[in-house]
Chain A
Amino acid sequence: MTKKKIRRQNAVTYGIVILFWAVVQLMDRTGNLSSLFKGLLVPLCMYAILAVSLNLTVGVLGELSLGHAGFMCLGAFSGAFFTKCMDAAIPSVGLRFFLALILGAAVAGFFGFLIGIPVLRLKGDYLAIVTLAFGEIIKNLLNVLYVGRDSSGFHFSIKDTLSLGMDETGEVIIKGAQGITGTPRAATFTIGILLLLLTLFIVLNLMDSRTGRAIMAIRDNRIAAESIGIPVTRYKLTAFSISAALAGAAGVLYAHSLSTLQATSNNFGYNKSILILVFVVLGGLGNMRGSIIAAVLLTALPELLRGLNDYRMLIYAVVLIVMTIFNSSPRAIEMRSVWMEKLRRRGQGKKEAA
């Protein structure tokens, strides 16, 4: 693809996101938005960001990670923690949220870097299981973590509130399995879309740069990349950390859309990581627009099927299987190319006849 073509493609992707925002705004103004759909808007942005950021690791770097929810969890907790701690120091909710986003991304990115150093030496399924393990460890640790603050500063414990040993001014901020309560619900659809646009900006520009080329070169052929002097470990870490940081930002967004943040298996378990991976694979590896569309459709689908109640997840599962087979099965690919050829011939035939 030429530079021009890449830029045009990217512009279309930004355009789709902005158009989606405008349509939703319009529907909201005219009162055509159901409350069910309204509740979905922030999660839709969140999943789109998560999918795009995971695609950086899986599609662009070519390493399978099943721990994305762990980074999201780190971002969510550090962001919510910051917002709770600073409610006196920074009265503006918006500013606090903004700073929390930066902090959450930084914390998740830092952990991505730390974990990446030992882990990125592993390959394929081994890397997958280790990232899964890290995600579970992060979730479990946050589940038993108690943090409180009193006049003498912060107190930590992994047992219970009492063992924090605070004086009477003490306030528990992170309460083990009960998590963090009372975070202001500052996340709006518009903020979510802005964050998604920023994520796209970072990832798409990265891909079309010296660093992105190095990362994709490593994906396509590590040995050849080394032979032309590309430092493999450094660029793997760069991609992995940026991916983790963006997941962290999505986590902060998530934390600020709930009144209670808990590190449960439903929120941040490996199943969540897998769900995001599904978006990435169905949307197409390295295809950011596809990731966003898959994330939005597959998040909205079970909700829109709510009328079918018990059958909705069943349908979801069947859709997943059928779509993957249709997309990737060698025979399906062959059949598709045969059809395309037939269509093309028919089109030509018509032209000639005319």
Chain B
Amino acid sequence: MAEKQKTMEQAGRPAKNGTGGAALALEVKNLSIAFGGLKAVDGFHIQIEKEQLYGLIGPNGAGKTTVFNLLTGVYRPDTGRILLDGDNITGRRTIEINQAGIARTFQNIRLFKELSVLDNVKAGLHNHCRYSTAEGIFRLPAYFKAEKAMDERAMELLKVFDLDQECNYKASNLPYGKQRKLEIARAMATDPKLLLLDEPTAGMNPNETAELMETIRFVREHFHMTILLIEHDMKLVSGICERLTVLNFGQVLTEGETSEVLNDRRVITAYLGE
């Protein structure tokens, strides 16, 4: 166990001290988008502190994934501002937003199916260990140096997610629960400031869910990561999230401490109906 801890610290980013709990990792104001007249997200706002584990919940079709797509630049918002660590990233492209520090997973798993587990993570390291195409083709020293660094870094990450045994499997051959973990590992490889998880436990059995809950908590602690997650499993939400925002019909219904929000009448009504 002690050894595992050590590798994790190496793999993680150095903790950011100083500003403490008050600094905002993500601040979103008045975010809206409409698709052909339908307001999918309307005036969304959120404030997430550094190293917070934040939950975004709401009934099906409330616009949760659309919020993620807006945050990651898949859609361009009609109105609103998105500040990541104080930087305005509104309207940037997906690639730039990842480089600015947001990484995500997807509701329907999107792995690089034909690549090995290791290569999936190495693809995530793309912008962190660089060498040119020509250096790669002609096997110049930069290739060997960067590949070695990538292999080491990727294996460290895989160990954290308990995937190191399967590093040479084809990604599509992993069992479902491990595929979800690999997606998180790949996102973590891009060294983000903020991690977005879109229904990380969807389709998992209770055992897998419990295990993943541990992993998420673990990631937060050891990488000092800020995490925003969409989830339907209330047990998971109440177990690990510190704060929640509830979305209903594209609008923020309420926000606050997890226990408060989950006992709010309006939230119960939104989920269960009148």
Contacts and interface: CB of A to CB of B under 8 A. Distances in A.
* Direct contact between A and B judged by beta carbons closer than 8 A: yes
Contact of A212 (B116, B136, B187): B136
A224 B111 contact: yes
Q: How big is chain A's contact interface, by range?
A: 20 to 34
A232 B129 CA distance: 18
Most central of B74, B126, B186 by chain A CB within 10 Å: B126
Contacts, number: 98
Contact of B113 (A201, A214, A221): A221
A209 B111 contact: no
Given A1-B116, A228-B98, A228-B124, A206 B110 contact: no
A209 B143 contact: yes
Interface in A223-245: 223-232, 238
A228 B186 contact: yes
B104 A214 contact: no
A19 to B, nearest CB: 23
B98 A225 contact: no
B259 interface: no
Given A220-B113, A224-B112, A227-B103, A206 B186 contact: no
A327 interface: no
Contacts of B139: 205
B126 A223 contact: no
Contact of B122 (A206, A213, A219, A227): A213
Contacts of B93: 226
B214 to A, nearest CB: 24
B123 A223 contact: no
A226 B104 CA distance: 11
A1 B114 CA distance: 10
Interface in A281-300: 286
Contact of A228 (B103, B114, B130, B131): B103
Contact of A226 (B94, B122, B146): B94
Contact of A210 (B98, B103, B115, B126): B126
B126 A229 contact: yes
Interface string B19-44: 00000000000000000000000000
Interface of B: 72, 74, 93-95, 98-99, 103-104, 106, 110-116, 119, 122-124, 126-127, 129-131, 133, 136-139, 143, 146-147, 150, 168, 186-187, 189-190
Given A214-B126, A223-B110, 16 more contacts: A201-B137, A205-B136, A209-B137, A210-B129, A214-B123, A217-B123, A220-B112, A221-B110, A223-B74, A224-B112, A225-B112, A226-B93, A227-B103, A228-B126, A228-B186, A229-B99
Interface of A: 1-2, 201-202, 205-206, 209-214, 216-217, 219-221, 223-232, 238, 286
